[in-house]
Amino acid sequence: MTRSSDLRAGGSTRPPFFNRRGDGARTVIEHVAFLVATTFAAGSFATSAMADDDFDPEKRWTPAVAFQMDVLGTTGKGVTTGSEISGPRVANAGPRFFDVPTNDVVIPARSREQVVAGLIGGDFELMTPRLASPDRAPRLFLNVNVAAALGPEVGLAREGNPGPMSLPQGIGDTSSLPVGETAIAGAGTKMTVQYQGPQIHAGLGAAFLFDLEGHRFRVKPSVVYSRLPFDVYGVLRRAVRLNGNTGPARTFENTYRTIELSAKQREIYHGAGAALEVEYETGDRLGPFTWSIFLKGQATRLFGDLETNLAESNPEYPDEQVFFTYKHERWFYRLGTGIRIRFDGKERRSRR
């Protein structure tokens, strides 16, 4: 399936999951908030309902919250191509005058790069009582991680340094030779990609308790669903030489015409994979709360079509076009650490 650029009315690039639908249906963010609230309400109710039980927290429903930091990464491939020039261009354009050596709108470019992001967010967990009577029987858990993405824009298929175009500094007033197209400051093409937020990672798994030399650990394998917003952006800045102007009369405006095109699209990637967390329980307590630290790794395979195709035409000469193609790697990897605060209600019940 081929996607084209999708520029929203008024130039807004605000992701659709922030906007309430006209029929009153909940957005994705509202569904997540509802799930988290319901999860913690159920856990708190279940914990209170077992107030007459003994003080073993492994026999109780246990809600928890965590602050988590992650690094997420994969690779992506970008390709930039274009049509031939159909508008006016000087007759003697060519390499000997340092012009673009072909009659194409762009010099084709491609590259593969690492695409990474830093994530900061909250993790919300509900753990069941242990499944059997042995002290080391596993417990099930459900967790939802909501994270903001802080990764930089990653450049692919780059030629030159696209930006405001002008004659190169120090050339134009005195030179008796034409200034070629490749010498123009600000000319070039590039594609940039960037992870966006909020990202959602929801997992279901089992927690296994171990004691090692007086220290308590939980090993927690799980299956995880992930939802990742992702932006793809392409830009072209091209100067086409129209004449052989030289000397003091030459200006950028009377010597060149410009082709300035850009396109942007937001993708929503969905995937499923496996995660493994190792949690260390410190044994410290603050009232009815305990806290722990953890390390978590995740590998996820993305579903569906991972190729984004953007195309833009020159409004003045519509046959002059630029094409940006981005292909996202199907697997991504995530590694994170955090601090978790767990509520077991032990202090409140012990005072009864």
Q: What is the DSSP track for 92-141?
A: T-SGGGT--SSSBSS--EEEEEEEEEEEEEEEEEEEPPPSSSSTT--EEE
pLDDT for position 212: 86
| pLDDT above 60 (res 40) | no
CB of 212 within 8 A of CB of 345? no
Phi first, then psi, for residue 60 (nearest 5°) are -125, 155
Residue 3 lies in a domain: no
Cβ neighbours around 303 below 10 Å, total: 11
Give the up-direction half-sphere exposure of residue 252: CA atoms within 13 A in the CB hemisphere.
17
pLDDT for position 348: 46
Residue 279 lies in a domain: yes
pLDDT for position 57: 75
pLDDT > 70 in the chain, percent = 80
Residue ranges making up the domain that contains 201? 9-350
How many domains does the chain fold into? 1
Angular region, 305: left φ>0, alpha ψ -120 to 50, beta rest: beta
Residue 155 lies in a domain: yes
Residue 276 lies in a domain: yes
pLDDT > 90 in the chain, percent = 63
Strand partners, 290: 285, 342
pLDDT, one tens digit per residue, over 58-99 is 888 999 999 999 999 999 999 999 999 999 999 989 888 899
Residue 298 lies in a domain: yes
CB of 69 within 8 A of CB of 333? no
pLDDT, one tens digit per residue, over 234-247 is 999 999 999 988 87
Residue 4 lies in a domain: no
Residue 324 lies in a domain: yes
The residues, ordered by sequence, that sit 6+ positions from 329 with a Cβ below 8 Å of its Cβ are 74, 75, 76, 115, 306
Is the pTM for the entire model greater than 0.85? no
